[in-house]
Amino acid sequence: MSAFTYIEGARRALAEELERDHRVWALGEDLGRGGVFKQYDGLQARFGAERVVDTPISEATIMGAAVGAALVGTRPVVEMRFSDFALCAVDELVNQAAKNRFMFGGQGRVPLVVRQPIGVWRSSGAQHSQSLESWWVHIPGLVVTAPATPADAYGLLKAAIRADDPVVHLEHKALWPLTGPAPETDAPAELGRGRIARPGRDVTIVAWSAAVHEAMAAANIAAARGVDVEVIDLRTLWPWDAEMVLSSVARTRRLVVAQEAVRDAGFGAEIVATVTEALGDRLETRPIRLGAPRIPVGYSAPLEAAYRVGPDNIAAALLRAVASPAAA
């Protein structure tokens, strides 16, 4: 495996887990036709309609069936088509899957994966473009993953399928065609472990999912201005690698957090709060968090562009972060 796309990595991970463990199965709408983005292409023909299952158009039914199946020993992979549609199954995911292990003293576990394609993509409008990671991180009992690279689309999905807790697996729609190096082994990734995507000494930027690539582009812009940026890809949002972030910021003494999701009450605020509480007296400038404005995602291309944070805005924040405290 020298290189593959984000979508190929995810498809290969699921195929390998279906092959490895007879308890693994997938369910959702139109999986037999490959799914909305062809992330299941060929899997029903290979593994059969009893393991790659087409369901009715009812997210609550899909999630409820998966919770029950997980409780009796299988490992369902639930396809929600779009992250937005998972809101139709919140009770089953939040009140049943996330809480079962706690409420019944560990007697039951719900090892399911909920695949939720997130993010802005091709004028999909307000009901098909949201990034709702802060909703899921807020819920005790849920693990939350957000791969930014093809290697993590592969490794994190494998880790999610093997986890004994319910995992919300956030796959950015705009990343499906992204090509990158494949992992060196077929082992699952480590949950809760971030990645230094670019080492630097002047300022730390923390991002996840598609925002990692915007952060990398912004770091290149800042480098042309003499600013050496360290970029951290969180990879998993719960648990998140606070140790890596704190170690980096302790060195650079500056922090920028970039997310595609709405800035208000977003997960970036949790990162800023954690860093400020731990290192506040050692920071050179105030932390900066970037995110979308608190508006629905527009359908038209100009409105969609206005919603995005983008590399230029991130680069401007990086330059502010290395300015004087008053300017930041």
Dump pLDDT digits (tens) for 156-205. Answer: 999 999 999 999 999 999 999 999 999 989 999 999 999 999 999 999 99
Is residue 234 domain-resident?
yes
**Is the CA virtual torsion 195, 200, 201, 205 positive or negative?**
negative
What's the pLDDT band for 2 if we cut at 50, 70, 90? confident
Task: Measure the CA–CA gap between 85 and 76, rounded to whole angstroms.
Answer: 18
Catalytic residues: 128
What's the pLDDT band for 81 if we cut at 50, 70, 90? very high
Q: Are residues 9 and 139 in the same domain?
A: yes
Is residue 327 domain-resident?
no
The average confidence (pLDDT) of the chain is: 95
- What is the pLDDT at residue 325? 61
Tokens of 12: 């290969």
Q: Are residues 257 and 110 in the same domain?
A: no
Is residue 163 domain-resident?
yes
Q: Are residues 66 and 14 in the same domain?
A: yes
pLDDT above 70: residue 112:
yes
- What is the pLDDT at residue 137? 98
Nearest by Cα to 77 from 32, 26, 111: 26
Q: What is the mean pLDDT of residues 114-143?
A: 92
Q: Are residues 157 and 200 in the same domain?
A: no
Q: Are residues 227 and 141 in the same domain?
A: no
Q: What is the mean pLDDT of residues 53-77?
A: 97
pLDDT above 70: residue 47:
yes
Give the domain range for residue 255.
195-321
Q: Are residues 147 and 286 in the same domain?
A: no
Task: Report pTM.
Answer: 0.95
Q: Pairing between strand 203-207 and 255-262?
A: parallel
CATH number (domain holding residue 149)? 3.40.50.970
Locate all alpha helices (DSSP H) within the chain, ordered by sequence: 6-20, 43-47, 59-71, 90, 100-103, 133-137, 150-162, 211-223, 242-252, 267-279, 301-307, 310-321
What's the half-sphere exposure (Cβ side, CA atoms, 13 Å) at 32? 7
Q: What is the mean pLDDT of residues 273-302?
A: 94
Q: Are residues 199 and 229 in the same domain?
A: yes
pLDDT above 70: residue 327:
no
How many structural domains does the chain have?
A: 2
Is residue 249 domain-resident?
yes
Report percent pLDDT > 90 for the chain.
88
Q: What is the mean pLDDT of residues 266-273?
A: 98
- Each residue of 203-241: pLDDT tens digit? 999 999 999 999 999 999 999 999 999 999 999 999 999
Q: Are residues 162 and 299 in the same domain?
A: no
Q: Are residues 55 and 171 in the same domain?
A: yes
Contact present, 122 and 253 (Cβ < 8 Å): no
- What is the pLDDT at residue 328? 47
What 3-state class would DSSP assign to 48? coil
- What is the pLDDT at residue 1? 57
Is residue 328 domain-resident?
no
Q: Are residues 287 and 255 in the same domain?
A: yes
- What is the pLDDT at residue 127? 82
CATH number (domain holding residue 309)? 3.40.50.920
Q: Return the amino acid letter for 74.
A: T
DSSP tag of 295: S
Is residue 37 domain-resident?
yes
Q: What is the mean pLDDT of residues 252-268?
A: 97
Nearest by Cα to 93 from 65, 119, 72: 65
